[in-house]
Amino acid sequence: MLHRPVSSPFAFNVKSRMRLAGFVILLAPLVIFLRLAYMQTFLHEEFANKAERAIYNYLAEDRLRGKILDVNGRELAESVRTHSCGVNKRYVKDKNKTVD
């Protein structure tokens, strides 16, 4: 005699939970992909400007240190204002034109 399996409410619960878990697992990467596509499409200019500012940043520092004195109060060292300039070699195409 063969008995037909009786579908229990527990079996239905497991199936519905598995479907829900599968849906969530597939939905999460889809949401991330859509967010990245949105950012690259509509926010491209904003991120390009941020990258540009990160590459070409200008620092203006007016931090003067105090004078260094000896025990008699004579000045041994003082802060001197200077200018500095730096170049990132990765962005230099022609080394001869860089100095100009």
* Residue 68: φ, ψ to 5°: -100, 125
Query: DSSP string of 31-93?
Result: HHHHHHHHHHHHSHHHHHHHHHHHHS-------PPPPEE-TTS-EEE-----------GGG-S
Q: What is the pLDDT of residues 50-62, one digit of tens each?
A: 888 877 766 555 6
Let me know the angle formed at the C-alpha of 72 by 67 and 74, rounded to the nearest 5 degrees: 40
So what's the pLDDT on residue 33? 96
Q: Between these two residues, 52 and 70, which has the higher pLDDT value?
A: 70
- Going from the C-alpha of 20 to that of each of 15, 28, 81, the distances in angstroms are 9, 12, 66
Name the average pLDDT for the chain.
81
